[in-house]
Amino acid sequence: MATADSISGVTAPSARRSAGLLVLLSSMPPEQLVEIIAKLTVSFAPEDLIIAGSDAFEADNYPALRIVPTAAINTSWMLTAADFVNAYQLAIKTGAQSILMLGPEANTLGASGLCDLAKAVLTGSTDLAVPRYDLPPHARLITSAILYPLVRALFASRVRFPMALDVGLSLRMAECLAGAGHRFNTLNQGDAFLWPVSEATVAGLTINQFGVGPRTLPHATGSDFNTIFPKITGSLFADIDAKAAFWQRFRQLQPAHSFAPMQPAISTNSIAEIAPLLQAFQLAYKNLQEIWQLILPPSSLLGLKRLSATDGAAFRMPERLWARIVFDFLLAHRLRTINRGHLLGALIPLYLAWVASHFNIIASGIDSESHIETVAAAFEADKTYLVSRWRWPDRFNP
């Protein structure tokens, strides 16, 4: 007899056929689908794979594969609550043991990287398998400046790309994410982002990351930076707020693992855009003082004043100052100090100043990843500042 699953609307079959790996694909051109299937079938027998996607497959070309239609996942650039709900429902329906969700341009991942993500969740050694991409130093800088340092400091995780495009899930990890996603769906927020690393950490599930080499990144169509930045940071800030009781307790940071070196740093010829970044910061310094004074303590405002008088290759944002800025904006987001849209908009020029500083630092010969690790360590070292302000927000007010 079928049994009702813990996720609303899902019915589990009474006799589930062992089907191995459910591979959920985003919408992509046929030639990319062919590449992905070819790479997967190097490591997995066709009968152990279930391929799901919205694109029309030439089923006659894959007689040994089980192909099921479903809504496309990750149609733009990040997995949403609805994607995880759909993934778990389909896994229950098909009897899959684990799930591999692949975003746009996933055909650019190597066969070994795909295999590592899939095998980790298939063998039961990992609940959440996340990739560590080998990306150019100028790629995914929101992740480098904010997402990775915050997740590392608050959830004691070294996952370098907590907003991964591709992810491997055990069935219990998929159930956990679907439960969180279902809550968003009931609020008509199915397009909201979920943060698998924090969900897994709170649930006590195992997380591992795997070096997968280079990957081509898709572009977020229909959105510009001023739309993307608040959406990503606001989502993470809200998730951190919801899990405050968890991350305020001390946890030991995961041990560091060695990975192949990232791509070489960009040359000085590729940092010509620093001037516009600094101009945006300096203009904001003149125009956003009233807003920043509502969010930042005097010590941070003094640091920004000094930075506003610096230009060119000498511009450097101290790591501790940047950590304090992000922490104070996170706190202001929680307290609704000002309208959240205006709040996150006021963070943008400060982030651009960090980017300019980062480019200057790597142009001086310092490895990009080394600098990002230094930034993340500053967030970790200053966590007590955030915890104190979170518990007693008025204590530090001028």
Q: Quick check: is 71 in a domain? A: yes
Check: CB of residue 315 under 8 Å from CB of residue 279. no
Contacts of residue 23, defined as CB under 8 A and 6 or more positions apart, other chains included, come to 36, 40, 49, 50, 51, 52, 99, 100, 102, 118
Residues 130 and 37 in one domain: yes
> Domain for residue 256, yes or no?
no
Q: What is the CATH number of the domain that holds 68?
A: 3.90.550
Q: Residue 325 and residue 389: Cα distance in Å, rounded?
A: 13
Tokens of 158: 């070294």
Q: Same domain for 346 and 236?
A: no
Same domain, 71 and 114: yes
241 & 314 share domain: no
**Domain check: are 36 and 179 in the same one?**
yes
Last residue of a domain, one of 186, 216, 247: 247
State the pLDDT at residue 63. Answer: 79
Show the tokens assigned to 327: 């922490």
- CA-to-CA separations, 112 to 11, 139, 146, 212, in angstroms, rounded: 35, 23, 29, 7
Q: pTM score, two decimals?
A: 0.89
| Residues 227, 297 share a domain | no
The count of other CB atoms within 10 Å of the CB of residue 67 is 14
Q: Is residue 26 scored above 80 in pLDDT?
A: yes
Residues 298, 172, single domain; the answer is no
Q: What is the C-alpha to C-alpha distance for residues 175 and 128, in angstroms, rounded to an integer? A: 12
| 397 inside domain | no
Instruction: Say what the pLDDT of residue 11 is.
Output: 40
Tell me whether residue 262 is in a domain: no
pLDDT digits (tens, 9 = 90+) for 159-212: 999 988 899 999 999 999 999 988 887 666 657 889 999 999 999 999 999 999
Q: Taking Cα atoms as reference points, which of 378, 362, 364 lies closest to residue 141?
A: 362
**How confident is the model at residue 4, as a pLDDT?**
37
Same domain assignment for residues 243 and 276: no
**Residue 398 falls within a domain, yes or no?**
no
- Report the pLDDT averaged over residues 29-45: 89
- How much of the chain exceeds pLDDT 70, in percent? 84
Predicted local distance difference test score (pLDDT) of residue 398: 44
| 303 and 163 in a common domain | no
Cα–chain center distance at 189: 18
Domain extent at residue 180 = 3-247
Query: How far is residue 323 CA from its own chain's centroid?
Result: 18
**Contact of 281 with 349, CB cutoff 8 Å:** yes
For 312-329, what is the mean pLDDT?
96
DSSP bridge pairs for 210 = 131
* Rounded Cα distance, 257 and 320, in Å: 25
Domains held by the chain: number: 2
The answer to which of 52-61, 355-364, 385-394 has the lowest mean pLDDT is: 52-61
Q: Does 287 lie in the same domain as 212?
A: no
Mark whether 231 and 274 lie in a shared domain.
no
In tens, the pLDDT along 270-313 reads 456 799 999 999 999 999 999 999 999 999 999 999 999 998 89
Task: Give the C-alpha separation, 354 to 347, whole Å.
Answer: 11
Q: What is the CA radius of gyration of the chain?
A: 22
CB-side neighbour CA atoms (13 Å) of 314: 6
Cα gap 212→214, rounded to integer Å: 7
The residue type of 50 is I
- Residue ranges of alpha helices (H) inside the chain are 30-43, 81-94, 111-122, 141-142, 148-155, 171-186, 196-203, 225-242, 244-247, 274-287, 289-295, 298-308, 319-335, 340-363, 368-381, 383-391
Contact 211, 158 (CB under 8 A): no
* Per-residue model confidence as pLDDT tens digits over 38-96: 999 988 988 899 999 766 666 667 778 888 877 666 556 688 888 999 999 999 999 99
Domain membership flag for residue 74:
yes
69 forms beta bridges with 53
Helices 383-391, 319-335: inter-axial angle, 10-degree rounding: 20
pLDDT bracket for residue 2 (50, 70, 90): very low
Q: What is the mean pLDDT of the chain?
A: 87
Q: Which of 352, 378, 240 is nearest to 288 (CA)?
A: 352
Indicate whether 321 belongs to any domain. Answer: yes
Residue 338 and residue 197 share a domain: no
Whole-number pLDDT of residue 184 = 80
Please check whether residue 31 lies inside any domain of the structure: yes
